[in-house]
């Protein structure tokens, strides 16, 4: 299986499944949301350390990206500027960039959604930015509790975002598939009326300990 195939598989498995399957680790915080809830995203991270209210480094970063990359930007969670908008989106799509994850805000949301470019951010801001402060590209960054290294795989959908270390991709896929199979069997058992969640998850002793049964 090629790297591209593995990335597509992670995208299809979904952020929540991958997060749980790799040991409940790698989740970006819940403040990071897709501007279009139908968005699905997966790709290697091109990391960007940006200054608040300045997008000079973003104009540089898009030129460093390879097709399929996801720009993952630490904009310090600043909410009073939108350093990404329609023009950068069009350029990113022209270059084959797979999407944007930014710990900060964007603007021109309607057009970005119409273009079908996946964007995960903390919110929207109509305020502009400067182009005066240098940042850094392809360095480790931190969003919430998640540390993201260049080349790590970012998986995102309506549920949220998770990072998979690039040397743990095969394991994440294997454990995610196993989890999917297990949950499919649970759903079938519940639908058939042969079991319930408390039984399937072996919660009887815990429920009895708290006097609930």
pLDDT digits (tens, 9 = 90+) for 181-207: 999 999 999 999 888 999 989 998 999
Do both 201 and 137 map to the same domain?
Answer: no
pLDDT band at 61 (very low <50, low <70, confident <90, very high): very high
Which pLDDT tens digit goes with each residue over 153-179? Answer: 999 999 999 999 999 999 999 999 999
Do both 159 and 180 map to the same domain?
Answer: no
Distance between CA atoms of residues 54 and 50, nearest Å: 7
Do both 161 and 189 map to the same domain?
Answer: no
Mean pLDDT score across all residues of the chain: 96
Do both 156 and 67 map to the same domain?
Answer: yes
Do both 70 and 139 map to the same domain?
Answer: yes
Provide the domain count of the chain.
Answer: 2
Q: Is 138 exposed, middle or buried (0-12, 13-18, 19+ CB in 10 A)?
A: middle
**Residue 127, domain CATH:** 3.50.30.40
Distance between CA atoms of residues 194 and 43, nearest Å: 40
Which pLDDT tens digit goes with each residue over 18-58? Answer: 999 999 999 999 999 999 999 999 999 999 999 999 999 99
Do both 21 and 64 map to the same domain?
Answer: yes
Do both 36 and 139 map to the same domain?
Answer: yes
Range of the domain at 195: 173-209
Do both 185 and 112 map to the same domain?
Answer: no
- pLDDT at residue 1, as a whole number: 85
Last residue of a domain, one of 166, 181, 200: 166
Do both 133 and 160 map to the same domain?
Answer: yes
Do both 112 and 64 map to the same domain?
Answer: yes
Do both 131 and 31 map to the same domain?
Answer: yes
Residue 45's nearest CA partner among 122, 156, 121, 171 is 156
- pLDDT at residue 14, as a whole number: 97
- pLDDT at residue 213, as a whole number: 82
**pLDDT for residue 114 is more than 90:** yes
């Amino acid at each position: 299986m090629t790297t591209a195939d593995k990335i597509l598989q992670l995208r299809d498995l979904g952020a929540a499944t991958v997060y749980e399957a790799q040991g409940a680790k790698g989740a970006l915080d819940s403040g990071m949301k897709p501007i279009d809830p139908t968005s699905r995203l997966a790709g290697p991270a091109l990391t960007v350390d940006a200054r608040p209210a300045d997008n000079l480094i973003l104009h540089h970063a898009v030129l460093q990206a390879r097709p399929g990359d996801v720009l993952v930007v630490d904009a310090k969670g600043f909410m009073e500027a939108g350093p990404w908008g329609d023009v950068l989106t069009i350029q990113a799509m022209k270059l084959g960039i797979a999407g944007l994850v930014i710990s900060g805000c964007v603007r021109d949301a309607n057009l970005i959604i119409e273009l079908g470019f996946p964007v995960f951010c903390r919110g929207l801001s109509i305020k502009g930015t400067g182009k005066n402060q240098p940042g850094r590209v392809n360095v480790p960054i931190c969003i919430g509790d998640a540390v993201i290294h260049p080349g790590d795989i970012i998986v995102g959908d309506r549920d949220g975002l998770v990072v998979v270390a690039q040397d743990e991709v095969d394991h994440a896929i294997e454990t995610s598939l196993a989890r999917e199979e297990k949950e499919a069997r649970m759903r079938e058992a519940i639908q058939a009326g042969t079991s319930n969640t408390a039984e399937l998850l072996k919660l009887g002793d815990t429920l009895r300990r708290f006097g609930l049964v």
